Amino acid sequence: MENLRRLFANNRQFVDEALQSDPDFFKRRAGKQEPHFLLIGCADSRVPVELLTGAAPGEMFVHRNIANQVFPSDLNLLSVLQYAVEVLDVEHVIVCGHLQCGGVKAAMGTESYGLVDNWLAGIREVYRRHSAELGAYATEEERFNRLVELNVLRQVYQLSRTPVVQNAWKRGRRPMLHGMVYDIKDGLLRELVLQVDNDEKVQALLEADRRGVGY
């Protein structure tokens, strides 16, 4: 219970500090939200996206699941995406993966973890498709790091294929799609692919993917 009590105590402190610098901090945000970003990240507790990017309340719409997956059949994610793009009109949709991702690691091995194996099937497929490139790396850690990147790129591609994004682009609208990787060891975010905002750029992404080169 001690850990839980700490959450409430920290919350009081957060409120006190926010009101000290701005007495209307919460009042102004209560009416509506106008976030610039939708971030799709991993559920990993070491990747608190708002904290590590300094995003204030109201700035970032967030969806997190294991290994930041974008499935065309995921009603949860698609609802978040549709609301963010069509109602909130976010400018940027970011897929943010991270090094040392347990979901990606699990997909590299043969061990079974039960239900979650189904969730990781997409990463196993990425691993299989890139087995030649990944096999050329000298160490397991390099393979692991590269698969984290390939997974993010795959999910950016998956996003670009959704009707929500396709319809927005056809009408000449945003969002721009981006892929990033967070390094848990040094706390830094690294860009992987930025400003994918039309089908030509998606094609370039696929070409680079096929050649197995960086972006």
Residues near Co ion, by CB under 5 A: 42, 44, 101, 103
CA distances from 125 to 84, 118, 172, 185, 212 (A): 28, 12, 32, 27, 15
d(C-alpha 79, C-alpha 163), whole Å: 12
- Active-site residues: which are they? 42, 44, 46, 98, 101
The two beta strands, 37-42 and 60-65, are: parallel
> Which residues neighbour 204 within 8 Å (Cβ) at sequence distance 6 or greater?
none
Beta strands 176-182; 189-196: pairing state: antiparallel
CB 49 within 8 A of CB 96: yes
Give the total residue count for the chain: 215
* Torsion angles phi and psi, residue 7, rounded to 5: -60, -45
**What separation in angstroms does the CA of 173 have from each of 13, 91, 134, 165?**
41, 9, 36, 9
